[in-house]
Amino acid sequence: MGIFSLLTGIAGPSGFGSASTAEQVTDGIDATNLTAIITGGASGIGLETARVLALRKAHVVIAARNIDAANEAKHLILKDNETARVDVLKLDLCSMKSIRAFADKFHALNLPLNVLINNAGVMFCPYQLSEDGIEMQFATNHLGHFLLTNLLLDKMKGTAKATGIEGRIVNLSSIAHLHTYEGGISFDKINDQRSYSDKKAYGQSKLANILHANELSRRLQEEGANITVNSVHPGLIMTNLMRHSALLMRVLKVFTCPMWKNVPQGAATTCYVALHPKLKGVTGKYFLDCNEYTPSKLATDEVLAKKLWDFSNKLVNSAQNN
Ligand SMILES: NC(=O)c1ccc[n+]([C@@H]2O[C@H](COP(=O)([O-])OP(=O)(O)OC[C@H]3O[C@@H](n4cnc5c(N)ncnc54)[C@H](OP(=O)(O)O)[C@@H]3O)[C@@H](O)[C@H]2O)c1
Ligand SMILES: *[C@@H]1O[C@H](CO)[C@@H](O)[C@H](O)[C@H]1NC(C)=O
Ligand SMILES: *[C@@H]1O[C@H](CO)[C@@H](O)[C@H](O)[C@H]1NC(C)=O
Ligand SMILES: *[C@@H]1O[C@H](CO)[C@@H](O)[C@H](O)[C@H]1NC(C)=O
Ligand SMILES: *[C@@H]1O[C@H](CO)[C@@H](O)[C@H](O)[C@H]1NC(C)=O
């Protein structure tokens, strides 16, 4: 795998590669018995993921902050199949209050939960603080999903136990996890405006996604819970994610055009990791172009992963006490 297969689209050991689409990698899979939550499922890769999971007959819950966009996404899916099971629930990941309200509303639906896709994200935004007073990219991309996952975990464990079906958590990370602050996570300066770099803050949040997935994977294995947790890099795809860097990305694309994917290809790795029977029992791994890949050294650092877990817990608890 690597640059050669990315450019040529040649398949890797999994039988799929950078040119594979979400429909292709889930061909023949029947997800009738699965319920999946997709954060940020109203646009971009998340929307295509929601569409293809519904096409495979899963019950899909689109979790989005923009309810109009989410309802449009739902209609788009229902246009293909009017009996597809799609729900829309409000979720704003940069507000812990909203995350708790989302979890309450989801629990009230009394649905099982087999698959959680932590897909929502922001990239390269100028320095700003979340509602809870935490740097926005770290708050949205990492901490919000940390809290959300923790609130939904008992439901996932219960479902896995009751149904005997393996639960799966998929975290959308990025190759950008390679470009972060010194030491990986800037624990002492998480909110520091003077040292803020919009690029490194994004890389830091995406490194946090991998570390978090690995630590959670370790914890679940220890407990004997039948739930896997993996991270993916979807590839380079022109989406709304580029809103804070539209010009930069357009110029970049001119020079690196063959390295870019379309949205159906961009959702392929997520859908592969969420549904494919080949990945039964595979956990704590990082995937790119539908194949396992080794992330950075920092991303496999277990001590750093534990430290991030405790740090995230503290932030969540202190926000709750405010
Ligand atoms: N595109 C790429 O090249 C690329 C590369 C590497 C990794 N990724 C990762 O892939 C994931 C999906 O990105 P995408 O390219 O599909 O971008 P996208 O189209 O912008 O999708 C991101 C989604 O996240 C939602 N979101 C952002 N902040 C949120 C919040 N506070 N609460 C709830 N939802 C929120 C957005 O909703 P709004 O429309 O309301 O903002 C949007 O629906 C991201 O995690 C990203 O880091 C993408
Ligand atoms: C879904 O669950 C039912 C009831 O447990 C079972 O009979 C059926 O085979 C399952 N379908 C699939 C595709 O796993
Ligand atoms: C439409 O969706 C429902 C629910 O997932 C499914 O049972 C049905 O088979 C789908 N119809 C087609 C034509 O795919
Ligand atoms: C990723 O996985 C873990 C599990 O780590 C989860 O708790 C975490 O919040 C996830 N979220 C993201 C997007 O990292
Ligand atoms: C986990 O679920 C899979 C089915 O998805 C099953 O084959 C496996 O035996 C389960 N493992 C445990 C430990 O329950």
Q: Which atom of ligand 2 lies nearest, measured to the CA of 30? A: 13
**CA nearest ligand 1 atom 19, residue:** 44
Count Cβ atoms below 10 Å from residue 2 Cβ, excluding itself: 11
What is the structure's pLDDT at 141?
Answer: 92
219 Cβ inside 6 Å of ligand 3: no
From residue 138, alpha-carbon distances to 49, 124, 190, 209 in Å are: 23, 11, 8, 10
CB 91 within 8 A of CB 63: yes
Give the pLDDT band (50/70/90) at residue 80.
very high
Count Cβ atoms below 10 Å from residue 199 Cβ, excluding itself: 15
Task: List, for residues 115-146, the tens digit of each pLDDT value.
Answer: 999 999 999 999 999 999 999 999 999 999 99
Ligand 5 midpoint to CA 178 (Å): 34
Number of independent structural domains in the chain:
1
Ligand 3 midpoint to CA 192 (Å): 50
d(CA 86, CA 97) in angstroms, rounded, equals 24
Mean pLDDT taken over the chain: 93
Dihedrals φ, ψ of 35, to 5°?
A: -115, 135
Task: List, for residues 248-289, the tens digit of each pLDDT value.
Answer: 888 888 888 888 899 999 999 999 999 999 999 999 999 999
Give the pLDDT band (50/70/90) at residue 10.
confident
Ligand 4 midpoint to CA 87 (Å): 22
pLDDT at 1 over 60: no
What is the structure's pLDDT at 3?
Answer: 65
Q: Give the mean model confidence (pLDDT) for residues 159-188.
A: 91
Q: Which ligand is closest in space to the CA of residue 151?
A: 4
Residues 170-188, buried b or exposed e (16+ Cβ, 10 A)?
A: bbbbbbbbebbbeebbbee
Q: What is the pTM of this model?
A: 0.94
Q: Which ligand is closest in space to the CA of residue 280?
A: 5
pLDDT at 320 over 80: no
Q: Which atom of ligand 4 lies nearest, measured to the CA of 214? A: 5
Host domain of residue 54: 3-321
177 Cβ inside 6 Å of ligand 4: no
Between residues 178 and 26, the one the model is more confident about = 26
Q: Give the mean model confidence (pLDDT) for residues 153-165.
A: 97
Displacement of CA 54 from its chain's centroid (Å): 18
**CA nearest ligand 5 atom 12, residue:** 226
Q: What is the CATH number of the domain that holds 177?
A: 3.40.50.720
Q: Which atom of ligand 2 lies nearest, measured to the CA of 163? A: 5
* Dihedral class, residue 253 (left if φ above 0, else alpha if ψ from -120 to 50, else beta): alpha
Q: Give the mean model confidence (pLDDT) for residues 162-188.
A: 90
| From 181, 196, 202, 293, active-site residue | 196
Task: List, for residues 19-47, the tens digit of each pLDDT value.
Answer: 999 999 999 999 999 999 999 999 999 99
**CA nearest ligand 3 atom 13, residue:** 81
Q: Which ligand is closest in space to the CA of residue 282?
A: 5
Testing ligand 5's pocket by substitution, the residue of 33, 34, 226 carrying the most ligand atoms inside 8 A of its CB is 226
Strand order in the sheet with 35-39: 86-90, 59-64, 35-39, 115-118, 167-172, 227-233, 286-288, 291-293
Q: Which atom of ligand 3 lies nearest, measured to the CA of 32? A: 5
Is 181 noted as a catalytic residue in this protein?
no
